[in-house]
Structure 1
Amino acid sequence: MSYKLICPFLAASLSFPVGGCQEGTKETNILNEEEDQISSDEWSYEGDTGPQYWGDLDPAYSVCIDGYEQSPINIEFSQVTKDDQNLENMEVDYHPASFTLVNNGHTVQAENPSEDNSLVIDENEYQLAQFHFHTPSEHEFNDEKYDMELHLVHEDKNGQLAVLGVMLQEGNENEELSKVWENLPETEGEDDITIDVPIDLQALLPEDQESFHYNGSLTTPPCTEEVNWIIFEEPLEMLKEQMEDFQHIFPDNHRPVQERNDREIMKN
């Protein structure tokens, strides 16, 4: 399958909630900053520290208000461009792997220390760094939300990022997601939980690989732009009870959709 890159991946860093900041590249440090540098009560999904106020909480978050390419967005199918002749090559190379679960106060995140799972785009390899969840979905299709959304975050050797987004809806059990749900950490700061049974990541992707591509931003502070998004059109199913278990921990951890402005959205 093949995809067009809307613009070059820049050395932006995805500040989805992740673990502590250590020595390393500037991008990796931003990727890992929230646990140590941004406490969970400095920004939130409600009240005076909710999404509409993120840009006022810290000068470093100003792009949350002033940015022109913010995420998430509503993907209006009638405005999508389909161009199979000019799509860049992409290959997902996923294998079963063990993960450690973290509740960082904003989401439940699965961290992967191995380098066995990767995403290759135009001959450039991105290693899977982590995946995490939002409820309800952050992106919308034709102004409609899904129950949840899964983000799989990849980073290359230069700190450049590629993110796969998968919509989740109520339905049949997904056995691989069940391995995560059996170990959900309910409390922020709780000891990390290692999932001993390997998770087959390929089962976290839909069979139909058609997807949307656009240039956006982090969906959490500092809302850094130049993040490339790849959102699969076909959703996965999971049990209603599992969604309720997550929503018991995080009743609502989504950022509302942002203005599309004149960005192009491609579909493979």
Structure 2
Amino acid sequence: MKLIHFLIPLLAATPASCAGESDGVTKFRLFNYTDTGGPLNWYGLDPVANEACGKGNNQSPIDIDTNAIEYAPAGALKFTLPAIDGVHIENLGFGLDVTLKNGTLEVNNKIYNMVQFHFHTPAEHHVNHEHYPMEVHFVFQTPENETAVVGFFFQLSDTSKTPPLFESVFSRIAEIADPGSSSTTGLLDFQELTAHLDQNRIYQYTGSFTTPPCTEGVAWYLSAEPLPLDVKTYNAVKMVVKFNARYIQNVLGRENLLGIAMRHL
């Protein structure tokens, strides 16, 4: 999960911005998922700003044990996202972000405002030691900057179609194949997604951003039932998004894996 406005430059003199540009090109962040810019060195890119990446004890993503994870009570999440057309979508160099401030999430009488949603291939969270091919994160924030993320897994299917909401996003994939490029979506209708959330169990836990600065205290809600994704669409998206998943973190509350590894070098 990432917040679209947060910048992690590799070089202090190198500007980075996630704001869209009028000519259809957007500047993109420079941390990545390979080499020295990848997850193993996010802490090293900026030990102050990214301290939680290397020292946090409640980091995301996690391997979900379905026998131990907490489930949200039925009807606990009120997912309100009105249909909207022409939403900004951009390729930040390591994933697709859809900027959307037209909706809310209500949980435990607390209202979060929609910020954006984005995709990870493969899925970042695992379930009982297995992973899905893709995961989407809907990011919400309160005016006090408290963050909640609603996530959905995708499972490849040769019999079911990709939900129209995501087809509308993925139909623009060829237009934003180059890092830094941007476009607008067709109509985004969230009714089917809202129904899916209402009808299925939801894993919940408190973790962190899955990208720098890896800030903790993020409320995670993940639908236990995956959405269908046709193979052709998946392959097209994967060619653009490529690999953008952080490795699985230690059990919540336990020492950061990087700290453990350092002691054994």
Residues 1:50 and 2:41 aligned together: no
Higher alpha-carbon deviation: 67-76 or 241-250: 241-250
Alignment match, 1:181? 170
C-alpha displacement of 1:250: 2.3
Q: Is the contact between residue 147 and residue 217 of structure 2 (CA under 8 Å) also seen in structure 1?
A: no
Please state how far the C-alpha of 1:39 moved relative to its aligned partner.
5.5
Q: How does 1:107-122 map to 2 (within 5 A)?
A: 107-114=95-102, 117-122=103-108
Match of 1:240 in 2: 231
Matched, 1:151 2:140: no
Give the C-alpha shift of residue 259 in structure 1: 0.6
* SS across alignment from 2:172: coil
Match of 1:91 in 2: 78
Residues 117-138 of structure 1 deviation map (CA, whole Å, 9 limit, x = unaligned): 2111122211211110000000
1:35 to 13, 18, 24: 18
CA RMSD of aligned residues (A): 2.4
CA deviation after TM superposition for structure 1 residue 209, in Å: 2.7
Q: Which amino acid aligns with 1:90?
A: L
Q: Distance in 2 between matches of 1:140 and 1:83?
A: 18
Q: CA deviation at 1:83?
A: 8.3
Structure 2 counterpart of 1:162, from 148, 155, 173: 148
Q: Report matched runs for 1:196-215 at 5 Å.
A: 197-205=186-194, 206=196, 208-215=199-206
CA distance in 2, matches of 1:72, 1:226: 13
C-alpha separation in 1, matches of 2:94 and 2:223: 23
Change (3 A) 1:130 1:67: same
Aligned AA (2:141): E
Structure 2 CA distance for aligned equivalents of residues 88 and 176 of structure 1: 22
Note the C-alpha offset of 1:198.
2.0
Structure 2 contact 66–127 (Cα < 8 Å) conserved? yes
Query: CA offsets, 1:14-67, max 9 Å, x none?
Result: 7x152488xxxxxxxxxxx8637x9633x2111122111111111211210100
One-letter identity of the residue aligned with 2:184: T
Aligned counterpart, 2:258: none
CA separation of 1:148/1:108 partners in 2, compared to 1, >3 Å: closer, same or farther? same
1:63 to 52, 60, 69: 52
The 1:168–1:156 alpha-carbon spacing in structure 2 relative to 1, beyond 3 Å, is same
Alpha-carbon contact 1:71-1:217 (below 8 Å) kept: yes
- Structure 1 gaps, min length 5: 1-13, 22-32, 264-268
Q: Percent same amino acid among aligned pairs?
A: 28
Q: Name the aligned partner's letter for residue 94 of structure 1.
A: L
CA contact (8 A) 1:107 1:132 kept: yes
Q: Secondary structure at the match of 1:48?
A: helix
- The question of whether the paired residues in 2 share the 8 Å contact of 1:177 and 1:204 is answered with no
* 1:125 paired to 2:111: yes
